[in-house]
Amino acid sequence: MPKDAPQLGCADSPILKERGQHEVFCGLTSIVWLHRKMQDAFFLVVGSRTCAHLLQSAAGVMIFAEPRFATAILEETDLAGMADAHEELDRNVSQLLSRRPDIKRLFLVGSCPSEVIKIDLSTVAEKLTEKYSPNVNVINFSGSGIETTFTQGEDACLEAVIRSLPSSEKTQLAVLGALPDIVQDQMMRLLEQLGLENVFVLPQVKFDDDVSIGANTHFICVQPFLGASYEEMVRRGAQPICANFPFGADGTTRWLWAIAERFDVSKAKFDKVVAAPKLRAEQAIAAVASDLRGKSVFFFPDSQLEIPLARFLAAECGMELTEVGSPFIHKSLVYADLADLPATTQISEGQDVDKQLDRVFDYNPDLTVCGLGLANPLESKGLSTKWAIELVFSPIHFYEQAADLASLFARPLKRADLLKVSA
Amino acid sequence: MKLSVWTYEGPPHVGAIRVATGMEKVHLVLHAPQGDTYADLLFTMIERRNHRPPVTYTTFQARDLGSDTASLFKSACHDAYNRFKPDLLLVGASCTAELIQDDPGGLAEALDLPIPVVALELPSYQRKENFGADETFFQIVKKLTTPQPRTENISCNLIGPTALGFRHRDDVEELEKVIQNLGIEVNVVAPMGSEPSDIVNLGAAHFNVLMYPETGESACRYLEKSLEQPFTKTVPIGVGALSDFIAEIETITGLTNLQNKVASRLPWYSASVDSTYLTGKRVFIFGDGSHVISAARIAKDEIGFEVVGLGCFNREMARPVRAFGKTLGCEALITEDYLEVEGAISELAPELILGTQMERHIGKRLGIPCAVISAPVHVQDFPARYSPQMGPEGANVIFDTWVHPLVMGLEEHLLTMFREDFEFSDANGPSHHAAHQPSTVQKENRSEETIPKENSSNVIWMTDAEKELRKIPFFVRGKAKRNTERYAVDHGVIEISIDTLYEAKAHYAR
């Protein structure tokens, strides 16, 4: 470590907590990737035209294949009586299942309006499970904006899935969090090389009723936004493994080492498994990091990936952190990454977007990570931005993606240098 | 409840945001939960706007519901006024806030702000985006306009363009040119590009040009009634419509000989022999009512297509679209169910679809070319180049846009002649398209795909006849198949042979 390395440690730093306009997506947005990840699942949002419009807009206005999600749009007549709503849902579900007989898991997803008028989706889900058992398993969760922010939709979905799993005393490792297929395969290969058996991942690509949890289940999250799923696993008696999140060469190594320690894998064996991919990742990052070193970065709150990514940018790419905002901070999950941030970093939780915009102009960072609603307005004021949503949709975890992750941040800076015309 | 896969329109508050974002010195405070801020990205990403929409969302959460969402609204209103200092404040509620009944209008009134406040009623569970835009602009006009002395020279207002409108930016520019060429001044363009003081000044114009009935009709009707300003009823998209529009202006203003002052290249492009192959091409048209009516008229009278089906997603326009459909001998499809539209297109097997981004995808799936004529919008509907739909240049743009997806005339013949050439195949798509990819493998797949085994009637295709059908280029194969089956049913033929195919061809020859 160089001599002038900054003092580390934000684990106990004061957090700037703000309560104003939140410029973030609601949890329904998670359906955009969950429905592709879970190939036999269908997501039926019980909501308004706004929910349908959001999903369509967040999904890039159009998707080529027929999506495995839809909205049961509430109408004036639905707002009147409750019994009515149950019948209506029953009708919508049977319409849906007759069109898509391939569906094995149906998620009823609560929204802001369905929660405000108190439609009890858990009772509906129970009744429908009885009706369609054993062909279709019906589970409910909330993706509403009054309860969830963006990636918390995946958290709420997984929490509901975990709650529905049977118990067992099997010794096993559970990895929580949706990953792109290729990244998940890389992870499974590494775990296998470490000698781990009985590893399963949630969400499952296809429904498998063999999956169970209990006191001998050890689990680790691969995404930092799974706070409720984490709590639910603990309630079910499973044992958490906490570490840095697997971004970059160091992050990945520490994440894997935490698992190795728990399962008594020897240091020698561990080193042998990770040495080659770790070196490869370090070299690849070094090639990209030259564009990032010494540059400052500001994070608007978006996906809860902010703290682990900030660690990666500061520790592995040499960037300077100004403010790192996150919609929620689950300290039990991000403790390790928080502890590794330079002590000078301003950590903020929640949002008052107008005040935060004032601060970003004061900092005038080289790079601003923000949501789609803010990116072009900031670009037009001369700030280089990185859309945060790309970080959720792109393969960025583990060794082989480490340089790609660095490149996502380097590209806007390079581009700004490249363009010789001013907008 | 209504099961919906895709929607053609957003909720009404998105319409209100379109009006506010188009204007200057206006701010909208929307009582809404946090997820509703997604609407900002429609403007910053799809339309590439370089400013955030002038909207403050209260972003209440579950924990606020039990306590006091009303005071949250008041403080948001107060802060928004102090930070943005608008000349006009709009307040409203999105679908969720409508349920908690906080009365944004009353709360904003109680703040006693030194600027006019317009309270919007946006019934989210009954109405949609276009209504929201139309209603918002109408309420602003109602609040701010007063009788004004008319301008000395004849002038008009251009009414209806909003942020996130399909080609509104370029339509305004084109129509301004047209109007000025007629020797008429443009007083105000609104909502897009105007500020509250301009709205006050609307009354100075001699008449209004209603550009988009979907978003400006209520305001025009109000201005006609309260300020005695007549308004034009024809949307000037297409050569014939433009001429009717100018005739309306002559009637309203008493000016004469205005017709010769505009000219489009479309008539000559349509008349030139290269366009002969466009004759009678079967088109299906779907979109918002106004654009559909304009497109149907152009298709039939100005390009020489056959309109085999049309419809719109906005129920407000059902009546005129149905009436126009009747004149073409078509039963109009009024629906916002995307699957129903797909069903209709698949059934009619047109040679070209004129639709929205949704129909573009239907076309892709069914192998039918498509040109986009209407919202809902996509990032591609905001091209960098000048690309209006209205006026003479609009007609030029439309001619190019509609013809582009088709295989060109001579190529059509050559494809039929050299059907067996392995490198020159209809399955490769039109040769002037980027996606054109000579590939024999693809050709085989394509032939399989475009002849579905099942058919609606109970007739059976014999193997020879089916092979013969495959020799017909794909862009007319659907029609040939359909005609042959209909012919077979009408004539009691159960098995279709090569002869049946050619008998049907002779029967339907045009």
pLDDT digits (tens, 9 = 90+) for B140-199: 999 999 999 999 999 999 999 999 999 999 999 999 999 999 999 999 999 999 999 999
Tell me the C-alpha distance between A307 and A324, whole Å: 7
Q: Report the residue of chain A nearest B377, measured CA to CA.
A: A61
A-chain CB neighbours of B127 within 8 Å are none
Return the exposure string of B39-73: e unless at least 16 CB atoms fall within 10 Å of the residue's CB, then b: bbbbbbbbbebeebbbbbbbbbbbebeeeebbebb
The pLDDT score that the predictor gives to residue B87 is 98
pLDDT in the model for residue A317:
98
Give the model confidence (pLDDT) of B302-345 as tens digits.
999 999 999 999 999 999 999 999 999 999 999 999 889 999 99
Is 70 exceeded by the pLDDT of residue B420?
no
Q: Residue B413, Cα to own-chain centre: how many angstroms?
A: 33
**Which of B49, B57, B75, B125 should one mutate to test binding to chain A, selecting the residue with the greatest count of A CBs within 10 A?**
B125
Nearest to A373 among B11, B37, B94 (CB): B37
d(CA B137, CA B158): 13
The pLDDT > 90 percentage for chain B reads 72
Using H for helix, E for strand and C for coil, what is the string for A359-371? HHHHHCCCEEEEC
pLDDT average, residue stretch A380-394: 92
Q: Does B374 touch chain A (CB under 8 A)?
A: no
3-state secondary structure of A124: helix
3-state helix, strand, coil in chain B (%, to 5): 50, 15, 35
What pLDDT, on a 0 to 100 scale, did the predictor assign at position A245? 98
- Please list the residues that pair with A108 across neighbouring strands: A44, A140
Residue A419: strand, helix, or coil: coil
Predicted confidence at residue A49, as pLDDT, reads 95
Chain B residue numbers touching A81 (CB-CB < 8 A): none
The Cβ-side half-sphere exposure at A243, using a 13 Å CA radius, reads 22
CA A387 to chain centre: 15
User: What is the number of other CB atoms lying within 10 angstroms of the CB of residue B2?
Assistant: 16
Q: Which of A24, A53, A76 sits opposite B126 (nearest CB)?
A: A76
Nearest to B62 among A95, A117, A147 (CB): A147
Residue A7 has pLDDT above 50, yes or no: yes
Alpha-carbon dihedral sign for residues B366, B371, B374, B377: positive
What are the CB-based long-range contacts (under 8 Å, 24+) for A407-411? Answer: A407/A288, A409/A292, A409/A297, A409/A313, A409/A317, A409/A319, A409/A367, A409/A369, A410/A288, A410/A291, A410/A292, A411/A386
| Mean pLDDT along residues B390-394 | 97
Whole-number Å distance between alpha carbons of A159 and A152: 10
Tokens for A238?
Answer: 């499973």
A60 pLDDT above the threshold of 70: no
Nearest to B7 among A26, A56, A95 (CB): A56
Q: Angle formed by the axes of helices B289-297 and B318-327, to 10°?
A: 20
In the predicted model, what is the mean pLDDT of residues B89-94? 97
One-letter amino acid at B227 equals L
Report the pLDDT value the prediction gives residue A107, as an integer from 0 to 100.
Answer: 97
In the predicted model, is pLDDT for residue A61 greater than 50?
no
Per the CB < 8 A criterion, the answer to whether A42 and A68 are in contact is: yes
Poorest-confidence range of A332-336, A386-390, B251-255, B467-471?
B467-471
| pLDDT surpasses 80 at B438 | no
Instruction: Please write the tens of the pLDDT for every residue from A118-170.
Output: 999 999 999 999 999 889 999 999 999 999 999 999 999 999 999 999 999 99
* pLDDT at residue B447 is higher than 50: no
Three-state DSSP state, A287: helix
Is B336 within 8 Å of B356 (Cβ atoms)? no
Q: Assign residue B80 a region: left if phi > 0, alpha if psi is -120 to 50, beta otherwise?
A: alpha
CA B310 – CA B327 distance, rounded (Å)? 12
Contact assignment for A116 to B100 by CB distance below 8 Å: yes
Burial class (CB in 10 A: 0-12, 13-18, 19+), B226: middle
pLDDT of A3 > 50? The answer is no
State how far the Cα of A342 lies from the Cα of A337, in Å rounded to an integer. Answer: 10
pLDDT band at A1 (very low <50, low <70, confident <90, very high): very low
Per CB-CB distance under 8 Å, the chain A contacts of B59 are 20-22, 145
Any A CB within 8 A of B50 CB: yes
Task: Compute the nearest-CA separation of B34 from chain A (Å).
Answer: 5
- Active-site residue set of B: 274
Give contacts of A144 with chain B, Cβ < 8 Å: 33, 35, 62
Q: Does B82 touch chain A (CB under 8 A)?
A: no
> Which residues of chain B are within 8 Å of residue A114 when distances are taken between CB atoms?
none
Mean pLDDT over residues A307-333, rounded? 96
**Residue B429 — pLDDT band, cuts 50, 70, 90?**
low
Q: How far apart are CA B311 and CA B291, in angstroms?
A: 10
Closest to B473 in 3D by CA, of B415, B423, B397, B399: B415
The verdict on a CB contact (< 8 Å) between A79 and B125 is yes
DSSP state of B223: H
Cβ-based contacts of A46 with chain B (< 8 Å): 1
Cβ-defined contact of A144 to B33 (cutoff 8 Å): yes
Paired strand residues for A188: none
Neighboring chain B residues of A96 at a CB cutoff of 8 Å: 3
The pTM of the full predicted model, rounded to 2 decimals, is 0.91
Task: Quickly state the pLDDT bin for A178 (edges 50, 70, 90).
Answer: very high
Mean pLDDT value across chain B:
90
B5 touches chain A (CB under 8 A): yes
Report how far residue B111's alpha carbon sits from residue B74's, in angstroms, rounded to the nearest whole number.
7
Collapse the DSSP code of A246 into the 3-class scheme (helix H, G, I; strand E, B; otherwise coil) and give the result: coil
Q: State the smallest CA–CA distance between residue B132 and chain A in angstroms.
A: 13
Question: With an 8 Å Cβ cutoff, are A72 and B51 in contact?
Answer: no
Looking at residue B332, what is its pLDDT? 97
| Residue in B9, B41, B123 nearest the CB of A373 | B41
Helix (H, G, I), strand (E, B) or coil at B332: coil
Containing A410, the helix (H) or strand (E) segment is helix A402-418
How sure is the predictor about B457, in pLDDT bands with cuts at 50, 70 and 90?
A: low
The distance of B421 to chain A (nearest Cα, Å) reads: 31
Neighbouring residues of A68: CB distance < 8 A, sequence distance ≥ 6: A35, A36, A41, A42, A43, A100, A103
B340 touches A: beta carbon within 8 Å = no
pLDDT value of residue A2: 45
**Is A259 strand, coil or helix?**
helix
Choose among B5, B42, B50: nearest Cβ to A57.
Answer: B42
For position B448, what pLDDT does the model report? Answer: 42
> Cβ of B7 and A50 within 8 Å?
no
Nearest CA in chain A to B38: A25
Nearest CA in chain B to A93: B3
Query: Could you read off the pLDDT of B370-390 as tens digits, one per residue?
Result: 999 999 988 889 999 999 999
Going by pLDDT thresholds of 50, 70 and 90, the confidence category of residue B419 is: low
Rounded to the nearest angstrom, the minimum Cα separation between B84 and chain A is: 10
Q: For residue A67, which of A110, A27, A105, A31 has the smallest C-alpha distance?
A: A31
Put simply, whether B59 touches A (Cβ < 8 Å) is yes
Per-residue pLDDT band for B509 (boundaries 50, 70, 90) equals confident
Contact A202, A157 (CB under 8 A): no
Of B1, B6, B59, the CB nearest to A21: B59
Average pLDDT score, chain A = 92
Q: Across the interface, do A53 and B11 touch by the CB < 8 Å criterion?
A: yes
How much helix, strand and coil, in percent to the nearest 5, is found in chain A? 45, 20, 35
Question: Between A and B, how many CB-CB pairs are < 8 A?
Answer: 179
The C-alpha torsion from A32 through A38 and A41 to A42, rounded to 10°, is 10
Peptide linkage before A134 cis (omega within 30 of 0): yes
Predicted ipTM > 0.90: yes
According to the model, what pLDDT value does residue A190 have? 97
Amino acid at site A294: G
Chain center to CA of A197: 26
